[in-house]
Amino acid sequence: MRRLFPVTDQTPASPRDRADREWSLDELADAYAYPSLGPDGHWLRANMVSTLDGAAQHDGRSQPISGETDMKIFGTLRALADVVVVGAETVRQEGYRPARAREAFAARREAAGQGPAPAIAVVTARMDLDFSLPLFTSPLVPTLVVTGAAAPADRVAEAVKAGAEVVVAGDGAAVDPARAVRELADRGLRRQLTEGGPRLLGQFVAADALDELCLTISPMLAAGDAQRIAGGPSVTVPHRLAPASVLEEAGFLFTSYRRI
């Protein structure tokens, strides 16, 4: 993996030192470390993949446009997070399972005061979820369901019965994205990672709740009518982010942009 320009001052060594060898998991974890957070701070980063022509999926899933190193970074970002925030549609399409503990990151997580694996937080208004799935019945860390106060009461009861923790982050049925970030942070889940889908990411963008975007640019063309990485409500003025890093491997670009 080749570093095309520095990741701020937190990434050690020089591009020449890494140009001809694979980055270790520790080096990737250092490169993607969360910024220092104050006692009341939180940080929401997104991790998405897009083809050269803007498709975030192929045949409804992101896996076909991903690659080996992209999945390695995907795993690293998860291993650094307190919570992975994901939309209900993505849970259904991608077949989400509980996050697992990874020995390679165990010491790092313990030193940061984190549990063995990040929690999964599913954002849903209609609670249209299969609570018999392993995501709810056998997670290492209890799964959270983030919904509104007017969510169907019978579905809320079913989620609780399955062992999920229900987080109310909206006065109606819909979830307020900025409130969801705060509610999770209030539970000690301050290092937050969202993996989409595009509708949820669009909501975070529109609410100006996103602090960082980690975007993999896949060297593929997909055409068709696939979603782009963010959809939904528009913003009055586009939000500008500052580049933090660019890595390259096998034609894939792994970029990171942070809130200015």
184 pLDDT above the threshold of 50:
yes
Q: What is the four-CA torsion angle of 86, 245, 74, 220, rounded to 10 degrees?
A: 90
Which residue(s) pair with 147 in the sheet? Answer: 168
Model pLDDT, residue 15: 41
- Name the one residue in this structure whose structure tokens are 């209030």: 186
Q: What is the pLDDT of residues 117-169, one digit of tens each?
A: 999 999 999 999 999 999 999 999 999 999 999 999 999 999 999 999 999 99
- Structure tokens belonging to residue 66: 């991903």
Alpha carbon 241 to chain centroid, angstroms: 17
The CA–CA distances, whole Å, from 168 to 10, 85, 184, 201 equal: 36, 14, 10, 19
Helix, strand, or coil here: 204?
helix
SS (H, E, C) 22-36: CCCHHHHHHHCCCCC
Q: What is the pLDDT of residues 76-118, one digit of tens each?
A: 999 999 999 999 999 998 888 999 999 999 999 999 999 999 9
DSSP H or E stretch at residue 2: strand 2-5
Q: How far apart are CA 26 and CA 82, in angstroms?
A: 18
Residue 170 binned pLDDT confidence (cut-offs 50, 70, 90): very high
Alpha helices in 12-131 (DSSP H): 15-18, 25-31, 68-80, 88-94, 103-111
Question: Quick check: pTM over 0.85?
Answer: yes
